[in-house]
Amino acid sequence: MSTLTRALSLVDADELVSLTRELVRIPSVVRPGEPGTTEADVAAHVEAWMRAQGFDVEIQRVAPDRPNVLGVLGAAGSGPALLLEGHTDVVTEGDPAAWTHPPFAAELVDGKIYGRGAADMKSGLAAAMIAAAAIKRSGAPLAGRLVVGALVDEEGDMLGAKHLCTTPLGRELSAAIICEPEQNELCLEQRGVVWARVTARGRMAHGAMPEAGANPISALATLVADAPRLERRLRALCTRSRYLKPPTVTPTVIAAPIAGVAQSNVIPGAAHATLDVRLTPGPDADAVAKEIDEACRRAADRWPGVSVEWAPVNGFRLATKVEREEPLVRAMVGAVRRATGRAARWGGVPGSTDGTILRMQLGIPIVTCGPGHRLIPHQVDEYVEVGELVDAARIYVAAALTYLKP
Ligand SMILES: [Zn+2]
């Protein structure tokens, strides 16, 4: 029996389902200001599990009670380092009464595990952990290191991924599989995002005498009405992709006044809006910024006395793309066939992920591939199909053993 066949046979579906359910049952919605609501408990569970498997474990303190947990197989300096990446935070469950299956019960019904994080992405993380354990139990030799990373804050500012990129272990990485829910498709492209926080400043005045002031709300109205034009311009700059929706510009926040009490007869001094700008590969940050600058300038020109400025929230996360010739991609194409008996299916990631940070800051190739329907994250009655979950773990085993073959 080949080492790969042996390692695949050691992926235990029951153990994988149990681990996924354990992780879902530990709520890890991050609620700022509420003590005890971070990724700490689920990270501790992941750490204990990895130590019990005999992984080398590194804990990175990203913020108080917010640790990255990394489990490592293989010796440093012996070859490339492949990361299987997941995050431990989940988004809010919203109103629990809206769920048919309680959000943190991890109910298993008709081959599906339900709960917040079932798809995004405790299942993907569990599949990565079980894949590494199967490889370790098989005794397969590795040329290099396999790292399973359970990072914090993907749903927030991606502090965990940003921190990892500054550490020796992060800088050692040669490639990463991002285990996000993509129906086990191989996604080589991800859309980028810029949250443009726009501030309009005018002059406060009485609502009955608008000629005495300069209304920042009117300038934001012009900007929002102009959003389709900005979208068209960005579409012209960006490359068309078979796997990604074209760029979009979506106003998501509008607020006035910025300070003080809202009153019906007061023109506020300042107002703000946020544009959620999604990108496909092509332009660099300067080219995107120039288009947003011009949209702001058009709005300001229309309303004398009002200035319109913007700044990116959390910087630029540009779209990413990896070529099919990359060794990791080739390893994964073979891995899908070996693990599932079918040809690889290709896809694209509609949003940005921790992989965006790894690609931008480390320059390494990333492939996003994990269990769970692409559209199910952040919904009520989020679920993952057990069959897809097991396939994911098997794909990770085959990809890692191919990429790290001595
Ligand atoms: Zn996710």
Query: How far is ligand 1, taken at its centre, from the CA of residue 316, in Å?
Result: 19
**pLDDT class of 76 with cuts at 50, 70, 90:** confident
Query: How far is ligand 1, taken at its centre, from the CA of residue 370, in Å?
Result: 10
Query: How far is ligand 1, taken at its centre, from the CA of residue 161, in Å?
Result: 12
Query: How far is ligand 1, taken at its centre, from the CA of residue 204, in Å?
Result: 43
Query: How far is ligand 1, taken at its centre, from the CA of residue 215, in Å?
Result: 40
**Cα 255 from Cα 6, distance rounded (Å):** 59
DSSP states along 55-77: -EEEEEEEETTEEEEEEEES-TT
DSSP structure class, residue 212: G
391, containing H or E segment: helix 386-403
The separation between the first and the last C-alpha atoms of the chain, rounded to the nearest angstrom, is: 17
The confidence score (pLDDT) of residue 285 equals 95
Q: Say yes or no to pLDDT of 340 above 90.
A: yes
Query: How far is ligand 1, taken at its centre, from the CA of residue 91, in Å?
Result: 9
Q: Say yes or no to pLDDT of 59 above 80.
A: yes
- Indicate left, alpha or beta for 319 from its phi (over 0: left) and psi (-120 to 50: alpha): beta
Query: How far is ligand 1, taken at its centre, from the CA of residue 158, in Å?
Result: 11
Query: How far is ligand 1, taken at its centre, from the CA of residue 10, in Å?
Result: 27
The confidence score (pLDDT) of residue 35 equals 85
Query: How far is ligand 1, taken at its centre, from the CA of residue 256, in Å?
Result: 32
- The whole-number average pLDDT for the span 229-254 is 96
Query: How far is ligand 1, taken at its centre, from the CA of residue 152, in Å?
Result: 11
Assigned token pair, 8 = 């695949």
Query: How far is ligand 1, taken at its centre, from the CA of residue 48, in Å?
Result: 22
Assigned token pair, 220 = 């934001």
Query: How far is ligand 1, taken at its centre, from the CA of residue 291, in Å?
Result: 29
Query: How far is ligand 1, taken at its centre, from the CA of residue 120, in Å?
Result: 5
**pLDDT class of 53 with cuts at 50, 70, 90:** very high
The confidence score (pLDDT) of residue 32 equals 87
Query: How far is ligand 1, taken at its centre, from the CA of residue 181, in Å?
Result: 7
Provide the whole-model pTM. 0.92
Q: Say yes or no to pLDDT of 36 above 90.
A: no
Query: How far is ligand 1, taken at its centre, from the CA of residue 348, in Å?
Result: 14
pLDDT tens digit string along 282-336? Answer: 999 999 999 999 999 999 999 999 999 999 998 899 999 999 999 999 999 999 9
The confidence score (pLDDT) of residue 377 equals 85
Percent of the chain clearing pLDDT 90 (strictly above): 95
Mean pLDDT across the chain: 96
Query: How far is ligand 1, taken at its centre, from the CA of residue 352, in Å?
Result: 9
Q: Say yes or no to pLDDT of 1 above 80.
A: no
Do 77 and 54 form a contact (C-beta atoms < 8 A)? no
